[in-house]
Amino acid sequence: MPTQELIASNPVSEAAREGLLAARKTLPPWLFYDERGSRLFEQITLLPEYYLTRTERAILATHAPEIVSSLGAPITLAELGAGTATKTGLLLAAAARIQPTVLYQPIDVSPSALDEAVHNLQRDIPGVNVRPQVANYITEPIRITRPTKHTRILALYIGSSIGNFSPAEARGILLNLRAQLAPGDALLLGTDLAPGPNKSEAALIAAYDDAQGVTAAFNRNILTHLNRELGTNFIPGCFHHRALWNPTESRMEMHLESKRPQSVTIPADPSGPAQTIHFERGETIHTENSHKFTPATIASLLATANFTPTHTYHDPNHLFAVTLATA
Ligand code: AVI
């Protein structure tokens, strides 16, 4: 590819132009995660309303030894979208109890998150060797190493990250992973569950619209990110944070709703000419989907990517599911 084209490609500008010039305005959720957005997400995971992270951690804390020993030593762990891998330590510690050394292969787009994972895990869990891979597992093929012929791979896709993708994208991600696995290997998938007897719609909505306004700040930060990166002139305070439950698609949606008629400019750059985007009062930018699953939709997603579910672990209130599936 000529150098000129390499310079010209700015994925943030391309994504912003594509989403904001559409009839129904959207922005892709990966634009949340600049430095401030990543910090705000860490704060979200600690909020009283956001039950997902602590519930999944409790499930892993209870069942990690059983999950790891169901594959049988020796195993290696690989993780999609590992981030700083704070929950993974529970599984690595369980693996390090049944074998002398454990190879951990985190895959993430963020080199800084991977550095933190390497540093913390190698410091805290003796016997763990971390081999990070900077890759976008959504668009690029991934590579998982099998250290010996008899080693089984336990692939992790936890944190309900799969929920942020459409069913077709989710299938693509799992197929990309499945291509690296062989019979005897397994996937551990963390999914948030749809409202039910122990989870009201109101509790689910509160998880995405907390009283302290951290999620609102996280949502509006996508505009601050565009202002910094592209020179757009969004006034984030001129947009309401909206979190709504879409029962037809079984997903939480986050939107930014324009408080008044307003126009925003995307300056000219190598991705395109200057553009003025007009917003009506009440018009929204759809920024995120977070799909919520049932046992049936978890099983059918796994089946479409050639995985066979063997066991689902829940918290006592059935708010969240961690499913073990074999390749
Ligand atoms: C990263 N992901 C699983 C979070 C979720 O729950 O969909 C992102 C998030 N959005 C709002 N709060 C948290």
Contacts of residue 251, Cβ cutoff 8 Å, sequence gap at least 6: 163, 245, 289, 290, 291, 292
Identify the pLDDT of residue 7.
59
How many alpha carbons lie under 13 Å from residue 33 in its C-beta half-sphere?
14
- Residue at token pair 């634009």: 31
Provide φ and ψ at 131, rounded to 5°.
-120, 90
Q: What is the pLDDT of residue 113?
A: 84
What does the pLDDT average to over 75-96? 91
Ligand 1, atom 4, residue with closest C-alpha? 161
Tell me how far apart the alpha carbons of residues 53 and 63 are, in angstroms, rounded to a whole number: 16
Q: Under DSSP, is residue 298 helix (H, G, I), strand (E, B) or coil?
A: helix
Residue 2: is its pLDDT beyond 80? Answer: no
8 band by pLDDT with thresholds 50, 70 and 90: low
Bond before 106 cis per omega within 30 degrees: no
* Distance of CA 36 from the midpoint of ligand 1 (Å): 15
With a cut of 90, say whether residue 244 has pLDDT above it.
yes
Q: Which helix (H) or strand (E) holds 158?
A: none
Tell me how far the alpha carbon of residue 290 lies from the centroid of ligand 1, in angstroms.
7
Name the average pLDDT for the chain. 95
What does DSSP say about strands 102-108 and 186-192: parallel, antiparallel, or unpaired? unpaired
- Strand, coil or helix: 74: coil
The predicted complex's ipTM stands at 0.99
How far apart, in whole angstroms, are the C-alpha atoms of residue 158 and residue 275? 39
CB 157 within 8 A of CB 88: no
Q: Determine the Cα–Cα distance for residues 41 and 47; give it in Å rounded to an integer.
A: 10
Residue 4 confidence (pLDDT) above 60: no
Mean of pLDDT values over 118-140? 91
Q: Is 288 in the pocket of ligand 1 (CB under 6 A)?
A: yes
> pLDDT-based confidence at 143, cuts 50/70/90?
very high
Strand partners, 322: 190, 313
pLDDT bin (cut points 50, 70, 90) of residue 315 is very high
> Whose CA is closest to atom 2 on ligand 1?
161
**Residue 9 — pLDDT band, cuts 50, 70, 90?**
confident
- Strand duo 152-157 + 251-258: pairing: unpaired
266-296 pLDDT tens trace: 999 999 999 999 999 999 999 999 999 999 9
Considering Cα of 2, then 6, then 14, then 301, what sign does the dihedral take? positive
Rounded to 10 deg, the angle between the 111-124 and 88-98 helix axes is: 40
Distance CA 263, CA 255 (A): 18
Distance CA 277, CA 265 (A): 6
pLDDT number for residue 83 = 73
Residues ≥6 apart with Cβ < 8 Å to 202: none
- Tell me the pairing of strands 239-246 and 128-130: unpaired
Does ligand 1 have an atom closer than 6 angstroms to the CB of 215?
yes
Say yes or no to pLDDT of 6 above 90: no
- Residue 288 Cα: closest atom of ligand 1: 10
Predicted confidence (pLDDT) per residue in 56-85, tens digit: 999 999 999 999 999 999 999 999 987 777
- Indicate which atom in ligand 1 lies nearest the CA of residue 41: 13
DSSP alpha helix (H) spans, the chain? 3-8, 11-20, 35-44, 51-71, 88-98, 111-124, 167-178, 201-207, 214-230, 295-304
- Greatest distance between any 2 Cα atoms in the chain: 63
Ligand 1 centre distance from Cα of residue 146 (Å)? 31
Residues 242 and 254 sit within 8 Å (Cβ to Cβ): yes
Residues 249 and 326: their CA atoms lie apart, in Å, by: 27
State pLDDT tens for residues 169-191: 999 999 999 999 999 999 999 99
Please, which residues bridge with residue 108 across strands? 134
